[in-house]
Every structure is written in C-alpha cells, then in structure tokens.
Amino acid sequence: MKMKHSLEEDFSGSSRTPLIPIGLTIVTVLMVPVFLYSVGPEGPLKVGDVVFATDRHRVKFIDSTIPQTQGYQDFCILESRVQLVVKKIERTVEGSMVAEPIGVEKMDVPFCPSRASIFLHPHQVTLKANLWGGLRDMLSNLVTGND
C-alpha cells in the first residue's frame, strides 16, 4: 500500500513541473520576433510608407489656410507613435518630407488632425513603431486603470 501511495505522489508532482519550462519556452518563442524587429535596420524612406512619430513634436502645416478655419495656428502638436503616410520627400540636405497623420486619437486643438499635410524632418519619424514604449504605456495604463 505504501508503494502505491509514493507512485501517485511521483506522478502528481511530475505532471506540474514541466508547466514552468513550457511557459518560459512559449514566452521566449513569442519574444524573439519582437526583439529581431526592434533591432533590425530600417531602410530608406519612400513615398507611400507608413512611418511613426518618434516623440511629441511641434510641426508646421503645409497649407496655412486650412488650420486657421479649424482654430489652429500655423503649427500643431504631433503625438508620439502617431502613424503618418509619407506624401512627398524633398531631395535636399535635410531630407524633409510632407506627411499626413492617420488614425489620430486626440482630435483637439493643438494636436494634429487626421489627413492634414504637415512638414517633417527625418529625425521626427521612424519606419518602425517603438514597441518597448508601447508596451510600457500599455502596462502603465493597466496598472493605473486609465483607458
């Protein structure tokens, strides 16, 4: 009878131990593509590319008459990680470009409205979204309870 009891304990204990290594393996397999994406090269910008704002920037409108009717000055505030579609790239030393924000969450003045043509510099955008900043913001919103 004692022999049977120890066998049951061995089977029940061994069935729980592989869950932790399996879970760690799954997390590792899921994080490898994220890591490779974040450290990979960006490549050159082209017209039609979707780019992301690197930080909060003050940018100028291309057409100054449209923003004034909506209550803007000649500039707007571009939020971090906002998606933009590149419409035109200047072939000058600075490499400035014209882009339009898409999927803008904040539609209030002074934030850039969706589909407004704005003037950008190369240091203000990146081809890849900031994954780590997005994860940090998501976790901080989860902890604080903000939506």
Q: Is 111 exposed, middle or buried (0-12, 13-18, 19+ CB in 10 A)?
A: middle
Q: Which residue has the higher pLDDT, 138 or 66?
A: 138
3-state helix, strand, coil in the chain (%, to 5): 40, 20, 40
Residue 28's pLDDT band (cuts 50, 70, 90):
very high
Q: Are 62 and 84 in contact (CB under 8 A)?
A: no
Best-predicted range by mean pLDDT among 6-10, 96-100, 133-137, 141-145? Answer: 96-100
- On the question of pLDDT at 16 being above 90, the answer is no
Of 83, 65, 66, 79, the closest CA to residue 111 belongs to 79
Domain ranges (residues) in the chain: 2-40, 50-132
Mean pLDDT of 84-105: 86
- On the question of pLDDT at 10 being above 60, the answer is no
> What average pLDDT does the structure give for the chain?
81
- Full-model pTM: 0.66
Q: At what angle do helices 19-39 and 131-144 cross, to 10 degrees?
A: 130
Q: Compute φ and ψ for 9, nearest 5 degrees.
A: -65, -40
pLDDT on residue 12:
52
Mean pLDDT of 107-122: 88
Q: Which residue has the higher pLDDT, 66 or 127?
A: 127
